[in-house]
Structure 1
């Protein structure tokens, strides 16, 4: 076994940073949840039993895509099959699984989170709810993989949420967006049945976003010399 800093050292640090951020945002509580990032055939993934809001790089394990341990002194998360399944089926590069309060609450009552706000289109639109299965089982992994077809996020019935993306930062942002959308749905439902954007309205949003480069961020200009 090599020194832990020698195998995916930067990625381990990034996973730890992502966990701490998600913890600070209230999406990760205690040891519940897990985060991973893939580089080629290797995956850096948070270890089981670690307090995620205080995760350190040495609490991140490295495995191959077949689950074989490559490096690390701790066991990988019990949801390793889910993470690896997402990588193998969708070729993505980062996975975030949380027990975020609002997403988890809605997973207990909804069959799907409808597209009530156009920002949900960043996740693929309507968010499916994967049927319940015991945590860490192949059955859970398979049901979540099916719910993720064509989507960047899914809710897990009576459990939590999962997002994936080409980068870890994007997967984290997807998790934050999903939690926000769940909160919007819950608040709207308190006043009446939320209106859902139909396919025509969704398509119009996509066309407008493309035409206007919606969501493109602009670099912050450098401070001029002498400014404070």
Structure 2
């Protein structure tokens, strides 16, 4: 079976995504991982927590289905566009996860961008872009997502949810969960007033601080 280990890894990540609090039931999102010019994705029509490796299609970056018992998920075009963009810009990205969690859907439905209200936002690139609304599974939303992810590890897709990149599947899922948490935190803060937003200078200092352990640059 072509890319058997990658298919197993995609299934495991899909099950972890389905188990996340706040995820939509059933096909709660799409998971993909790239190995060279080949990409393994979750399929259409199967709940994430019921996937088997043989279900997962293997596709080329130019969108040809090479193997798999089931058709790719509708968001395959989005994932392949993001993988192509990452490869074009030489980014260390091999995995993409998108999901319809309650908080990313809510945030993407009301915001034009997600401001950074916590220092962890620096890990995703700071301000999170919200793409214009487009029908899922189309070239339009794929192009919008690839554009929004330039220089960022996550984006919000208007009225759809969130998408995140990673050096591997575990990292991409971690970034998706961070995006979900940042969305929830901002929405909760708005209930009490206008949140204080971290500036680009403050985020830059956070990135410098992130390069150190407990003994930061000003520990003494």
Give the TM-score normalised by the residue count of structure 2.
0.91
Q: How does 1:1-228 map to 2 (within 5 A)?
A: 6-26=1-21, 27-91=23-87, 92-212=93-213
Give structure 1 stretches of 5+ with no counterpart: 1-5, 215-228
Computed over aligned residues only, the root mean square deviation of the Cα atoms, in angstroms, reads 1.3
Q: Residue 28 of structure 1: CA displacement?
A: 4.9
> Secondary structure of the equivalent of 1:164?
strand
**Inter-CA distance 28–44: structure 2 relative to 1 (3 Å threshold):** farther
> In structure 2, how many angstroms separate the alpha carbons of the residues matched to 1:8 and 1:156?
29
Q: Residue 35 of structure 1: CA displacement?
A: 0.4
> In structure 1, how many angstroms separate the alpha carbons of the residues matched to 2:107 and 2:50?
27
> In structure 2, how many angstroms separate the alpha carbons of the residues matched to 1:53 and 1:28?
12
> Secondary structure of the equivalent of 2:63?
coil
Q: Aligned residue for 1:218?
A: none
Q: Residue 213 of structure 1: CA displacement?
A: 7.3
> In structure 2, how many angstroms separate the alpha carbons of the residues matched to 1:159 and 1:28?
11
Task: Kindly tell me the number of residue pairs found equivalent between the two proteins.
Answer: 209
> Secondary structure of the equivalent of 1:172?
helix
Which stretches of structure 1, 4 residues or longer, exceed 6 Å deviation after superposition? none
Q: Residue 90 of structure 1: CA displacement?
A: 1.0
* 1:82–1:141 CA contact under 8 A, matched in 2: yes
> Secondary structure of the equivalent of 2:175?
helix
Q: Residue 29 of structure 1: CA displacement?
A: 2.4
> In structure 1, how many angstroms separate the alpha carbons of the residues matched to 2:126 and 2:25?
27
> In structure 1, how many angstroms separate the alpha carbons of the residues matched to 2:113 and 2:128?
6
Give structure 2 stretches of 5+ with no counterpart: 88-92, 216-220
Give the TM-score normalised by the residue count of structure 1.
0.88
Q: Aligned residue for 1:217?
A: none
